[in-house]
């Protein structure tokens, strides 16, 4: 026990990694627990079509956010000037301008998006949901500074508090009105709460509007490839729902979104931790520098893969039973979706953290190349899967896209000495055996989706 406590104590890199990883997991776990509780309450107050409409609102908002991201967070994490007030204030100024522009663009896109999806209610709900983009532009850079130094305890508490405030408002509003507007306003209230809490309770200097040419040049030079890469991230993370919004009925899309939430939970939890931790780790302990760094990083990566992999397989195994326990009969088709989505995410274990090494080394161009390959395969596989095998094919295609893009990811990892072939082989073999067993267990449930 004393050895365990000593591993978490001190100011060394690994101690900060362990503490930050613990806080990030607590934060993400708590966030998803709150989200699940809200989801269970809202599914009883509202109707499946409401979640389908909000899925489309989320796709547009996340799409705008990703299509315009210049990587302010990763830039602060890896840049030598990441603690310089002039650099931080310039980054904040860019962030504020971006938030204002995103809100304006969302309002302009409202009618075209509503027509594209044949859903006139989007005209009412999309501009309201997009207010969160405007508010988030004013978030202080102290948030990114805390992540840069792997000091995220207080930030985690503030994140959970702001989410709880938003959910509380959403539930009360839904109880009073039974309106989809509750879902749209919930995210806005959470963003406002986070802005206020982090401004007053997170330590650090207050941001001011500032434009330093050198800082702006650094941010833009690093961010130009991030800008393109995050546009591709939208395709990878939201492409399935953007395409299914045209393919499925609005109520079935809402059911799919619930299945996706549960099935993707373990991977999203892992990614939320890895994205924040591995850039500082790779930055301070480059794997190509010496064998000791490489060995420590391989162990860290293996531990992450094991924990996330077991959680994915467990979720796949209990998916139908879990949905049957938590939701009423209107949502039962989400059960086999949970199983398929969890299994579709498993191949991503093999490529976890490899893309972070490029960002840690400031090589956003190579990162963009890999993301482009992944995005192209994702779209092609989903379209082919849907055309020939329906909804089941569309879900399975996400796994096939990850497998097809593996050579590009290996190229990136090998470039910086981060490739661990033994880890990848073991993960693949374990995944094949577990997937076969779980598909055999739930084949009858999965067959129910064949008609969609």
Instruction: Please write the tens of the pLDDT for every residue from 280-295.
Output: 778 778 888 888 888 8
Q: What separation in angstroms does the CA of 274 have from each of 9, 19, 133, 146, 369?
A: 21, 13, 24, 15, 20
DSSP line for 239-302: HHHHHHHHHS-HHHHHHHHHHHHHHHHHHHHHHHHHHHHHHHHHHHS-TTT-HHHHHHHHHHHH
3-state secondary structure (DSSP) of residue 41: helix
- Residue 235 within a domain: no
Domain-embedded: residue 150: yes
Q: What residues make up the domain containing 412?
A: 248-451
Burial class (CB in 10 A: 0-12, 13-18, 19+), 202: middle
Q: 130: pLDDT confidence band, cut at 50, 70 and 90?
A: very high
How does pLDDT run across 343-370, given as a tens digit for each residue? 999 998 888 878 778 877 877 788 888 8
CA-wise closest residue to 38 among 237, 255, 245, 258 = 258
Please check whether residues 36 and 182 belong to one and the same domain.
yes
Q: Is residue 303 part of a domain?
A: yes
- Residue 413, classed as helix, strand or coil, is helix
d(CA 54, CA 125): 8
Alpha carbon distance 92, 95 (integer Å) = 5
* pLDDT value at residue 399: 92
Q: Quick one: CA torsion of 63, 309, 31, 207, rounded to 10 degrees?
A: -60
Give the chain's mean pLDDT: 84
What is the pLDDT at residue 390?
A: 87
Pick from 57, 179, 55: nearest CA to 122: 57
Instruction: Please give the backbone phi and psi of residue 9, each rounded to the nearest 5 degrees, phi first.
Output: -100, 165
pLDDT digits (tens, 9 = 90+) for 213-233: 888 887 777 666 666 667 677
How many structural domains comprise the chain? 2
Dist CA 202 CA 143 (whole Å): 8
Q: Is there a single domain that holds both residue 217 and residue 252?
A: no
Token pair recorded at residue 289: 């520098």
Answer yes or no: do 270 and 377 share one domain. Answer: yes
Asked, for residue 2, whether it belongs to a domain, the answer is no
In percent, how much of the chain has pLDDT > 70?
87
Buried b (16+ CB within 10 A) or exposed e, 128-145: bbbbbbbbbbbbbbbbbb
pLDDT at residue 1 in the model: 45
Q: Let me know whether 17 and 144 are in one domain.
A: yes
CA 418 to chain CA centroid, Å, is 23
Q: What is the DSSP string of 351-378?
A: GTTHHHHHHHTT-HHHHHHHHHHHHHHH
**Is residue 41 in some structural domain?**
yes
Same-domain check for residues 198 and 69 = yes
* Domain-ending residue, one of 176, 203, 221: 221
Lowest mean pLDDT of 128-137, 153-162, 435-444, name the range.
153-162
SS3 (DSSP) at 45: helix
Same domain, 213 and 258: no
**What does the DSSP assignment read for 181-222?**
HHHHHHHHHHHHHHHHHHHHHS-SPPP-----HHHHHHHHHH
**pLDDT on residue 349:** 85
**Statement to judge: residues 304 and 389 lie in one domain:** yes
Of 375, 425, 11, 64, which is closest to residue 383 (Cα–Cα)? Answer: 375
Boundary (domain end) residue, out of 221, 238, 273: 221
- Identify the CA nearest to 409 among candidates 355, 363, 360, 348: 355
Residue 70: the pLDDT is 66
Please report the pLDDT score of residue 67 as a whole number.
Answer: 67
Residue 232 lies in a domain: no
Nearest one of 43, 65, 64, 63 to 180, comparing CA atoms = 43
pLDDT band of 163, cuts 50, 70, 90: very high
Q: Are residues 312 and 186 in the same domain?
A: no
Looking at the fold, whether 277 and 197 belong to one and the same domain comes out as: no
Q: Do residue 216 and residue 258 come from a single domain?
A: no
Beta-carbon-side half-sphere exposure of residue 306 (alpha carbons within 13 Å): 7
* Mean per-residue pLDDT, 63-70: 72
Q: What is the pLDDT of residue 149?
A: 63
Q: Find where tokens 């489309």 sit.
A: 56
Same domain, 59 and 100: yes
| pLDDT tens figures, 365-418 | 888 888 889 889 988 999 999 888 888 999 999 999 999 999 998 898 888 888
The Cα–Cα gap between 61 and 11 comes to 38
234 within domain boundaries: no
Q: How do residues 235-246 score in pLDDT, each as one tens digit?
A: 777 778 888 888
pLDDT confidence tier of residue 4, bands split at 50, 70 and 90:
very low
Query: How many CA atoms, within 13 angstroms, populate the side-chain half-sphere of residue 126?
Result: 29
Which of 185, 206, 221 marks a domain boundary? 221
pLDDT exceeds cutoff 70 at 278: yes
Confirm whether 227 is domain-assigned: no
The reported pTM is: 0.75
Domain identity same for 414 and 278: yes
């Amino acid at each position: 026990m004393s050895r365990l406590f000593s591993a978490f104590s001190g100011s060394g890199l690994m101690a900060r990694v362990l503490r930050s990883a613990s806080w990030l997991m607590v934060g993400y776990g708590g966030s998803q627990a709150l989200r699940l509780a809200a989801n269970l309450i809202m599914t009883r107050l509202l109707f499946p079509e409401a979640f389908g409409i909000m899925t489309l609102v989320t796709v547009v908002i996340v799409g705008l956010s990703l299509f315009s991201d210049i990587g302010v967070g990763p830039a602060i994490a890896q840049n030598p000037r990441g603690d310089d007030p002039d650099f931080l204030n310039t980054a904040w100024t860019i962030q504020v301008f971006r938030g204002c522009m995103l809100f304006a663009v969302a309002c302009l896109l409202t009618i075209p998006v509503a027509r594209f999806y044949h859903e006139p209610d989007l005209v009412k709900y999309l501009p309201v949901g997009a207010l969160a983009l405007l508010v988030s532009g004013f978030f202080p850079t102290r948030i990114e500074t805390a992540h840069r130094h792997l000091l995220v305890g207080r930030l985690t508490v503030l994140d959970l508090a702001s989410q709880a405030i938003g959910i509380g408002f959403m539930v009360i509003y839904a109880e009073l009105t039974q309106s989809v507007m509750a879902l749209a306003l919930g995210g806005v209230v959470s963003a406002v709460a986070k802005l206020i809490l982090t401004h007053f309770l997170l330590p650090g200097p207050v941001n001011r509007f500032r434009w330093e040419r050198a800082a702006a040049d650094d941010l833009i030079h690093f961010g130009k490839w991030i800008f393109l890469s995050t546009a591709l991230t939208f395709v990878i993370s939201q492409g399935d729902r953007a395409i299914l919004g045209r393919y499925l009925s609005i109520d079935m899309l809402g059911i799919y979104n619930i299945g996706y939430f549960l099935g993707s939970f373990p991977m999203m939890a892992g990614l939320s931790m890895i994205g924040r931790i591995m850039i500082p780790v790779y930055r301070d302990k480059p794997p190509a520098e010496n064998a000791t760094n490489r060995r420590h990083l391989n162990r860290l990566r293996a531990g992450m893969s094991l924990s996330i992999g077991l959680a994915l397989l467990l979720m796949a195994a209990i998916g139908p039973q879990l949905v049957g326990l938590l939701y009423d009969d209107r949502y039962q088709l989400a059960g086999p979706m949970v199983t398929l989505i969890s299994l579709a995410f498993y191949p991503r274990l093999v490529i976890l953290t490899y893309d972070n090494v490029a960002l840690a080394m400031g090589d956003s161009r190579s990162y963009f190349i890999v993301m482009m390959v992944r995005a192209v395969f994702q779209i092609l596989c989903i379209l082919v899967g849907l055309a020939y095998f329906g909804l089941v094919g569309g879900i399975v295609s996400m796994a096939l896209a990850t497998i097809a893009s593996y050579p590009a990811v290996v190229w990136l990892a090998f470039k910086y000495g981060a490739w661990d072939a033994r880890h990848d082989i073991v993960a693949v073999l374990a995944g094949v055996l577990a997937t076969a067993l779980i598909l055999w267990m739930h084949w009858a449930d999965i067959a129910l989706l064949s008609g969609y």
